[in-house]
Structure 1
Amino acid sequence: MQSLISRLPVALALAVFAAAMWFVWFGWDDVPYDVWQVLGCGLCVVAGSVAALTRAGRGVVLLAAAATVGFAVPWAAYASSSDDSGLWVVGLVLLLAGVFPGLVVVLTIARLVRR
């Protein structure tokens, strides 16, 4: 339990970083995202997640969840405000279903390489 509590500040910082990445890469644009935006944002979130894992030492699932939720919250707030059809919920589910397991895999590989 103590080690989980010691990793919470890193997870919180990662969630804030992931949210900031949404604003930096997508928050200023109201048209469909370009490939360069998606790749840039994805690389930044992955790099931030790996840096957080290096700092925390452990906690792959916690950090993947923190980055996913941190990114998904501003995305969902924007999407829900600009979509009257309700299909933004489908987008949110797809975002969560892709980002979380993807980050778990990347962070697991990073942890194995680090060893």
Structure 2
Amino acid sequence: MKLKLTILYLLCLAPIFVGGASCSTELGSMHEAISGKNLRAIQAAMPEFMRTGMDISRYRIVVDENESHVVVTFIDADAPDDPRGRIRGNLSKLPAFIVELGRNDLQVIRSNFMR
């Protein structure tokens, strides 16, 4: 089971590490940078997200950190951004999913769908 999750996880992250014509034609022209620290948090949160059975390609991932924990949020890629941060809850078609991790060890503290 753990091997299957690892393989599935690597397949989901492969487009981040591998560029190429198939990736660019499928997703259009795109350039995103991600820090190694945020990548580690996303890697720690992915098994929780994958248990939901949702399609990762339909989500954008946001990583927030404070002094005690790291929060990885999986948000509908088509949901509008609110630059003022006033939108509360999940207003998109797809359910958002949150994984809270310990800041020092990146162990899962809790995970849940956004209300």
Name the structure with the higher strand share.
2
Q: Which has the higher contact order (CA 8 A, sep 6+)?
A: 1
**Structures share fold, TM-score greater than 0.5:** no
Under a length normalisation based on structure 1, what TM-score does the superposition of the two structures give?
0.27
Tell me the TM-score normalized by structure 2.
0.27
Query: When you count helix as a share of all residues, which structure comes out higher?
Result: 1
